[in-house]
A and B are shown apart, each in its own frame.
Chain A
Amino acid sequence: MALENTQIQDKVTETFGESVMHFRQEKDIFTFEVSADKITSVILFLKNEETLNFHFLTDVCGIHYPDSNVNEQFAVVYHLHNWIENKRIRIKSFINGETPEIKTISNIFLSANWMERETYDFYGINFIGHPQLKRILNMDEMISFPMRKEFPLEDSGRTDKDDRFFGRTPSNC
């Protein structure tokens, strides 16, 4: 009946082999990782394969992991949804921290257009082949990418919000 995790895993590994990895059931959503160069073909496969049929792109967003090694400092996360089987999956793709770039999927799902622009705007991730990759929420003149972890929210000179007083380390404030 329902679309099983193992079924998805088998189909995807059968076609893409080493490029897909780390299959796991996160709390609520089946998650796996895809190497960045294969992302368009994996998503196209998930969309068009008859039994999988992940025909709806719920969400695209970026994450910054400044403490990881340089090849995995950014992640682009895709949430796909199959409404017929009511199954969601999450695909993560890790990319390089110095020249973050990944292929666009805006030609597969039209809705990816703005979501990728938003991700570019906040993380500076370059979506190769995107029809109009420019800032969307911030102003065009801005030079920084504000959601990266190195940009502090507040004035770093403030001393009244020191996390050491609350039993936390500086890294998790």
Chain B
Amino acid sequence: MSELLLPPEHRYAKIIKERLNEDGSELSILNLGPTHPATHGIFQNILLMDGERILDAEPTIGYIHRAFEKIAENRPFYQITPLTDRMNYCSSPINNMAWWMTLEKLLDIEVPKRAQYLRVIVMELARITDHIICNSILGVDTGAYTGFLYVFQFREKIYEIYEEICGARLTTNMGRLGGFERDWSPKAFELLNTFLEEFPACWKEFENLFERNRIFIDRTVNVGAISAESAMSYGFTGPNLRAAGVDYDVRVAEPYSSYEDFEFIVPVGKSGDTYDRFCVRNAEVWESLSIIRQALAKMPEGNEYHANVPDYYLPPKEDVYNNMEALIYHFKIVMGEVPVPVAEIYHAVEGGNGELGFYLITDGSRTPYRLHFRRPCFIYYQAYPEMIKGALLSDAIVILSSLNVIAGELDA
């Protein structure tokens, strides 16, 4: 049977041939993916199984590789933001803001406090959507569909806020160099306030459904545990690392966009298993809500929403149509004819899944010389075979969804 699934020179084919169990049964191969509904993304795992127990796994990725790094080397800076959207598409505003902040670091642009706070709000909203997806899908994979349907209406509410801010919902392409493309409308704040009022009750109920649920605990505790040392060696960051008990958070270690102004705790777990990852994400949602409230309360007066950098910030449309200077600036910025220093910088933010880094090398031309994305998913997904060795197939699915592997971020 296995020769139908594997070429004869594959190492698993050899193992199967050599090892016969005493009762005459043999090891088998199971193809999990590339398009299996339970993996929530396009990636394949060839599993070597003894009955229902996984002995070894070989992941194959790259099914939705879109060559973003190559494309980025041929695009002016403004055209790279839509590429970043499509990496972790569950929290695209974080990617967008990270890219703008990378450029602002490159060009030494000081963003006004109010715009920074608005950015914090939208990034925390994105983190909430990311965690909503991860945790509710984890519920679906353990057999609890209700929680997923219940909290997903609030992801919709957050998308309505994005829509009010930038006009898009999933792949947002939000913001500009130095701030936002327009001020947030009163409607956006209204939607935000409604969300802050209604969501906590829902999230509390979601937590109650799962955190002390016997079935959920049986399915997740001690499943896919990883020690802090091995998580660090595998390059884990974000909630998955914190679940193993290491309190590394880029928002605290290297505050960007005024995160130092807000008080929040970094939730950590202990055993690094699936249950801890679930709880860390749950707790982070509460922290995100608190950060958003603090940002709204501390929001400076006025309506400043972008830095005063006419060289890089697109002029208002009515000026472009009626004013020669503005038209020239518009043209120059769109064509990428802006002064850019020769430099190498690395900027990291705390994405939904961990440290999202942009390593940018410029040579003074209108496109990056090299742009490398440090994608947290790509780096920690290589620990997956190690984590599922000896587990049951159904556990492998649960571990995968608790790691929150997003295919877009895996492949870039």
Contacts and interface: CB of A to CB of B under 8 A. Distances in A.
Interface of A: 26-29, 31, 55-59, 61, 63-64, 77, 79, 83, 86, 88, 90, 109-111, 113-115, 118, 122, 135-139, 146-147, 151, 153-154, 166-168, 172-173
A136 B61 contact: yes
A63 B248 CA distance: 29
The residue among B232, B233, B234, B235 with the most chain A CB atoms within 10 A of its own CB is: B235
B378 interface: yes
29 contacts: A26-B345, A27-B343, A28-B345, A55-B232, A56-B232, A59-B372, A61-B359, A63-B369, A64-B370, A77-B372, A79-B357, A83-B248, A88-B346, A90-B346, A109-B235, A110-B234, A110-B235, A111-B235, A114-B379, A114-B381, A115-B235, A135-B62, A137-B61, A137-B411, A146-B70, A147-B69, A153-B71, A167-B337, A168-B366
B232 A139 contact: no
A59 B61 contact: no
B382 interface: yes
Contacts of A172: 363-366
B253 A83 contact: yes
Contacts of B65: 137-138
A14 B254 CA distance: 30
A79 B372 CA distance: 12
Given A136-B61, A137-B411, A173-B365, A111 B335 contact: no
Given A61-B359, A63-B370, A136-B61, A168 B346 contact: no
A75 to B, nearest CB: 9
B311 interface: no
Nearest to B75: A153
B408 to A, nearest CB: 13
Contacts of A64: 370
A139 B62 CA distance: 8
Nearest first, the 9 closest Cβ-Cβ pairs linking A and B are A111-B235, A172-B365, A137-B62, A61-B372, A137-B65, A153-B74, A114-B382, A110-B233, A59-B374
Interface of B: 61-62, 65, 67, 69-71, 73-74, 105-106, 230, 232-235, 246, 248, 253-254, 335, 337, 343-348, 355, 357, 359, 361, 363-367, 369-370, 372, 374, 378-383, 411-412
B105 A28 contact: yes
Contacts of A28: 105, 345-347
Contacts of B346: 28-29, 59, 79, 88, 90
A90 B343 CA distance: 14
Contact of B337 (A111, A122, A166): A166
A147 B70 contact: yes
A87 to B, nearest CB: 10
Given A26-B344, A28-B346, A83-B253, A111 B69 contact: no
Contacts of B230: 110
Contacts of A109: 233, 235
A58 B374 contact: yes
Nearest to B67: A146
Contacts of B254: 86
Q: Taking each of A59, A146, A153, which has the highest tally of chain B beta carbons within 10 Å of its own beta carbon?
A: A59
A59 B365 contact: no
Contact of B74 (A56, A79, A137, A154): A154
Nearest to B253: A86
Contacts of A88: 346
Contacts of A166: 335, 337, 366
A77 B248 CA distance: 23
A111 B374 contact: no
B301 to A, nearest CB: 32
B70 A153 contact: yes
A65 B74 CA distance: 16
Contacts of A137: 61-62, 65, 411-412
Contacts of B73: 153
B211 to A, nearest CB: 29
A105 B48 CA distance: 28
Contacts of B382: 110-111, 113-114
B253 A115 contact: no
A126 B232 CA distance: 25
A166 B333 CA distance: 12
A130 B335 CA distance: 43
B233 A58 contact: no
Contacts of A114: 378-379, 381-382
A172 to B, nearest CB: 3
Contacts of A27: 105-106, 343-345
